[in-house]
C-alpha cells in the first residue's frame, strides 16, 4: 500500500562499530511484527546484514533499508556501518533521512566514529537523538555516559527514557513522558507496568528536567510551565518535537537491544516526534552551478534523487531513491537529464533488508527502490517529463585515504579484474580505480585497508584471478626556481622536397604556486606568423607534461616568447612545435628545476593515551602539526604531511593505536623536495627509464 507523506518518518541509524545498531534494527522490526523473530549477529540471519561479506565478518558493510509500520505511521530505517572504511554507505543514510539516531555503548560513551559522525550531522544541521545501548552489560553506566556526551558535544541532551538498573541488575526502562516502566523479558517483548517505588525519586528528578526542557520548545508552553509547574504528556511531546525539529535539543533513550528493551518507547517517540519529510529542505543545483534550497513537496511533477545503487545476484540492479516532489508509480515516465533517456519503472518497491516489497506508489519524502533501471545511477536526478529543468545536488563523499597499485599475471586476467572493479565503482562511490599515466600504474583507492582488501578479495574469489598489490608511486610535480634567461632553438630538417624549419627564442620565469602556466607573446614586427603560435604552445605543453628531472608534469611556469624566425616554404605548425619543445629543454637547464611533492592535510582522531606516540610519529614523517583539539578522552590532531610518508598510514595508525585510531586526509598543496629524497626520486625514474629502453 502507498503511504501519505505526512505519515512518513525517515531515520538513519548511525554510530561507532559494535554499538549494537544492527541488533537494534532487528528488534525494531520484531516489535512492529515485520519479522517473526529477532536474530543475532552471530546467527548470520539478521535482516539488515545479509551479504556474504557481512555474515562472514560479522559487521555491517552496506547501508540497508527496512520499512516498518508503527501505530499508523511508516518508518523507513537505514542501518549504516559503523566502521570508518564504509563511511560512504553512512552518507547515503544522511542524504535520504531527515533525522538520525546515534547509538552509543553504555560502557564507552562517545567514541571516535561517534564524534566524526556527529560532525557530519552538524554540517548538515540534521536533527538527531541518542540511544544508549547495552545497559545490560557489566560496567554499563547511564549517568556517566550522559555526562560524557554533554562534555563532548556541548549541546542540550534531554533524557526521555532512563534505565532501571544496569549490568546484571538491569530490569528495563522508564518512559518519562508516559510515566510508565517497561520491563524486559517476556519472549523479547516489553511489558508495561507502574514505576517501581524504589525508582520514583530517581524518575522524578529526570522528569522535572524533561518538562523544563520541553517547555522551552514553545512560548505558550513556557507560560503554562511557570503557571502550573508541569506539562501534560502531549504538551511535553510538542515541546520536544519543536525543539528537535529546530535541532535545539537531543532526546536521549536507552535500553538493551539484545533483550528488546527500550524498543517500544523509542518507536513511540519516532512516530510522535521525529521530523516529517514534507516541508524539509534538500538541495538542487542552480543554473550557475551553486547550491539552492529545494523544499520537499507533494505538489508538482515527480522528482527523485538516486542515493545508492546495488547489484543483487537475484534481483539485478537496484536503485534506491528518495522522492523529493510529487508521487512515483510504476507507470510514471521518468527522465534522467544526465543521459537524456526516459523509462517507466514498471513497479516500485519498499525494502526490508534484501526483500523487495511491491507498493502502489512512493509519495514525496518516501524512500524506495526501482529494479533493473537503465537510467538510474547513484547521484542521478529522475524527473517526470523531459521539460523539467532540475538537477539535485550529488552526495558529498570524502576523499580516499588509502591506495594500492594493482596488477595481474596476464592480459586476460587484467581484463576480468578491471571489468569487475569498474562494476564496484557503480555501487560504491568512495572506491576509485584509474590508470595513472604519470606512474604507469593501475591504482585503486578507498577509505582504508579493510575497505580495499574486502573489494579485492571478493574480485579474486569471484573472478578466479590473482591480483598483485603494492604501494603506488607518488605523483610528484616539477617546477623552476629562477628565470632561465633567453634560450634559443632552431629546428631544421631537409630530406628532399619541402623541409622543416622553425626558430624560437623563449624565456622562463617561476609563477606563484598553483598558477600552473602563463604564456606571453612578446614578438614585435611579426617575425612569426600568428598561425604558428598554437604550434609553439603545443610544444611547450608537451614538454611540461613530459617533465625534465624525473618525468613528472611541470607546473607554475611562465613562458615569454621573445622572438623567432620562419621560412616561407619550409615552416609549419609541427616545425614550430618541435622548436618550442627544444627551446624549453634548453631553458629548463638554466632555470633551477626542482621537484615538488604533494602535501596532505591530515586529521587524526585518537584516544589520549596515544597522543605522544602520534606526535612523535608525525615528526618522523616530516609532518608539521597545525594544532590539537581536546575532545574529552579523545584528541583530534591536524597536520600537514608529505603524501609519500602516508602511503601506509592506514596500517601504521592501526598498529600504533591498537586499531582504535581513525584519520581523514585530503590534498592541500605542493612543496619543493630537495636533497637526498629528491635524488632518490630522480634515480628511481632513471632506472625505470633504463628498464623500459632495454625491453
- pLDDT tens by residue, 628-675: 998 878 899 999 999 999 999 999 999 999 888 999 999 999 999 999
pTM: 0.86
pLDDT of residue 186: 65
| Angle of the 233-245 helix axis to the 200-215 helix axis, nearest 10 | 60
Looking at the predicted structure, is the pLDDT value of residue 139 above 90?
yes
From 342, 365, 449, select the one nearest 400 (Cα to Cα): 449
Q: First-to-last CA distance in the chain?
A: 67
- The C-alpha atoms of residue 454 and residue 347 are separated, in whole angstroms, by 33
Count of CA atoms in the C-beta half-sphere (13 A) of 100: 25
- pLDDT tens by residue, 10-31: 999 999 999 999 999 999 999 9
Torsion angle in degrees (nearest 10) through CA of 256, 261, 264, 269: -40
Mean pLDDT of 279-296: 90
Which grid coordinates are listed for 637? Answer: 590532531
- The C-alpha atoms of residue 37 and residue 29 are separated, in whole angstroms, by 9
Which residue matches cell numbers 605523483?
475
Confidence of residue 689 (pLDDT cuts 50, 70, 90): confident
- pLDDT tens by residue, 498-524: 789 999 999 999 999 989 999 999 998
3-state secondary structure of 286: coil
Beta strands in 360-431 (DSSP E): 361-363, 367-371, 381-384, 402-408
**For 369-373, 383-387, 558-562, which range has the lowest pLDDT when averaged over its residues?**
383-387
Q: Which residues pair with 144 in a beta bridge?
A: none
For 26-30, the CB contacts below 8 A with 24+ separation are: 26/257, 27/188, 27/257, 27/260, 27/263, 28/66, 28/68, 28/75, 28/77, 28/263, 28/266, 28/267, 29/66, 29/68, 29/352, 30/188, 30/260
- The C-alpha atoms of residue 530 and residue 561 are separated, in whole angstroms, by 12
Which grid coordinates are listed for 307? Answer: 542515493
Mean pLDDT of 582-608: 96
Contact (Cβ atoms closer than 8 angstroms) between residue 12 and residue 80: yes
Looking at the predicted structure, is the pLDDT value of residue 690 above 80?
no
Torsion angle in degrees (nearest 10) through CA of 123, 129, 134, 138: 80
Instruction: State how far Cα 247 lies from the chain centre.
Output: 23
- The C-alpha atoms of residue 463 and residue 94 are separated, in whole angstroms, by 33
From 29, 656, 618, 82, select the one nearest 350 (Cα to Cα): 29
Amino acid at each position: 500500500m502507498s503511504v501519505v507523506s505526512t505519515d512518513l518518518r525517515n531515520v538513519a541509524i548511525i554510530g561507532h562499530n559494535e554499538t549494537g545498531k544492527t541488533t537494534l534494527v532487528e528488534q525494531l522490526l520484531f516489535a512492529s511484527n515485520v519479522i517473526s523473530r529477532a536474530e543475532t549477529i552471530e546467527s548470520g540471519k539478521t535482516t539488515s546484514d545479509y551479504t556474504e561479506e557481512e555474515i562472514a565478518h560479522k559487521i555491517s558493510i552496506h547501508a540497508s533499508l527496512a520499512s516498518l509500520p508503527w501505530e499508523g505511521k511508516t518508518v523507513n530505517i537505514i542501518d549504516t556501518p559503523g566502521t570508518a572504511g564504509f563511511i560512504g554507505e553512512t552518507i547515503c543514510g544522511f542524504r535520504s533521512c531527515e533525522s538520525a539516531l546515534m547509538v552509543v555503548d553504555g560502557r564507552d560513551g562517545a567514541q571516535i566514529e561517534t564524534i566524526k559522525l556527529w560532525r557530519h550531522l552538524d554540517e548538515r544541521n540534521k536533527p538527531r537523538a541518542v540511544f544508549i545501548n547495552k545497559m545490560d552489560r557489566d560496567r554499563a553506566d547511564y549517568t556517566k555516559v550522559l555526562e560524557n556526551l554533554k562534555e563532548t558535544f556541548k549541546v542540550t541532551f534531554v533524557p526521555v527514557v532512563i534505565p532501571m538498573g544496569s549490568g546484571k541488575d538491569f530490569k528495563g526502562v522508564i518512559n518519562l513522558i508516559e510515566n510508565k516502566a517497561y520491563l524486559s523479558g517476556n519472549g523479547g517483548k516489553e511489558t508495561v507496568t507502574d514505576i517501581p517505588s524504589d525508582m520514583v525519586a530517581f524518575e522524578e528528578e529526570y522528569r522535572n528536567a524533561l518538562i523544563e526542557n520541553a517547555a522551552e520548545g514553545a512560548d505558550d508552553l513556557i507560560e503554562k510551565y511557570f503557571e502550573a509547574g508541569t506539562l501534560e504528556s502531549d504538551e511535553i511531546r510538542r515541546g520536544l518535537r519543536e525543539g528537535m525539529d529546530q535541532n535545539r535539543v537531543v532526546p536521549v533513550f536507552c535500553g538493551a537491544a539484545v533483550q528488546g528493551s527500550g524498543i517500544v518507547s523509542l518507536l513511540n517517540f519516532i512516530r510522535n516526534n521525529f521530523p516529517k519529510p514534507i516541508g524539509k529542505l534538500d538541495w538542487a543545483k542552480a543554473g550557475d552551478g551553486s547550491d539552492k534550497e529545494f523544499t520537499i513537496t507533494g505538489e508538482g511533477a515527480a522528482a527523485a534523487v538516486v542515493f545508492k545503487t546495488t547489484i543483487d545476484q537475484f534481483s539485478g540492479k537496484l536503485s534506491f531513491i528518495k522522492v523529493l516532489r510529487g508521487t512515483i508509480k510504476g507507470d510514471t515516465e521518468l527522465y534522467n537529464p544526465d543521459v537524456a533517456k526516459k523509462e517507466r519503472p514498471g513497479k516500485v518497491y519498499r525494502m526490508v533488508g534484501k526483500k523487495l516489497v511491491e507498493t502502489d506508489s512512493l509519495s514525496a519524502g518516501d524512500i524506495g527502490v526501482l529494479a533493473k533501471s537503465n537510467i538510474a545511477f547513484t547521484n542521478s536526478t529522475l524527473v517526470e517529463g523531459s521539460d523539467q529543468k532540475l538537477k539535485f545536488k550529488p552526495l558529498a563523499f570524502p576523499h580516499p585515504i588509502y591506495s594500492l597499485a594493482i596488477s595481474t599475471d596476464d592480459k586476460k586476467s587484467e581484463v576480468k579484474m578491471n571489468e569487475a572493479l569498474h562494476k564496484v565503482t557503480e555501487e560504491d562511490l568512495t572506491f576509485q580505480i584509474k590508470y595513472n599515466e604519470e606512474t604507469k600504474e593501475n591504482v585503486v583507492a578507498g577509505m582504508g585497508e579493510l575497505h580495499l582488501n574486502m573489494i579485492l578479495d571478493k574480485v579474486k574469489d569471484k573472478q578466479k584471478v590473482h591480483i598483485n598489490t603494492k604501494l603506488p608511486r607518488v605523483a610528484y610535480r616539477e617546477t623552476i626556481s629562477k628565470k632561465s634567461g633567453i634560450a634559443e632553438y632552431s629546428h631544421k630538417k631537409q630530406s628532399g622536397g619541402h623541409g622543416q624549419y622553425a626558430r624560437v627564442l623563449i624565456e622562463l620565469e617561476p609563477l606563484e604556486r598553483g598558477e600552473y602556466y602563463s604564456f606571453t607573446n612578446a614578438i614585435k614586427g611579426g617575425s612569426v606568423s600568428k598561425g604558428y603560435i598554437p604550434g609553439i604552445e603545443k610544444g611547450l605543453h608537451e614538454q611540461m607534461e613530459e617533465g625534465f628531472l624525473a618525468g613528472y608534469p611541470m607546473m607554475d611556469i611562465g613562458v615569454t616568447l621573445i622572438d623567432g624566425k620562419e621560412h616561407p616554404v619550409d615552416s609549419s605548425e609541427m616545425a614550430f612545435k618541435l622548436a618550442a619543445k627544444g627551446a624549453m629543454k634548453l631553458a629548463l637547464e638554466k632555470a633551477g628545476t626542482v621537484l615538488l611533492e604533494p602535501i596532505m592535510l591530515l586529521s587524526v582522531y585518537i584516544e589520549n593515551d596515544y597522543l605522544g606516540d602520534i606526535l612523535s610519529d608525525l615528526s618522523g614523517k616530516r609532518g608539521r602539526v597545525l594544532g590539537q583539539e581536546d575532545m574529552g578522552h579523545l584528541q583530534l590532531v591536524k597536520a600537514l604531511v608529505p603524501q609519500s610518508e602516508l602511503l601506509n598510514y592506514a596500517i601504521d595508525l592501526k598498529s600504533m593505536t591498537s586499531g582504535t585510531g581513525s584519520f581523514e586526509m585530503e590534498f592541500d598543496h605542493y612543496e619543493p623536495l630537495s636533497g637526498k629524497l629528491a635524488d632518490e626520486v630522480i634515480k628511481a625514474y632513471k632506472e625505470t627509464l633504463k628498464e623500459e629502453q632495454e625491453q
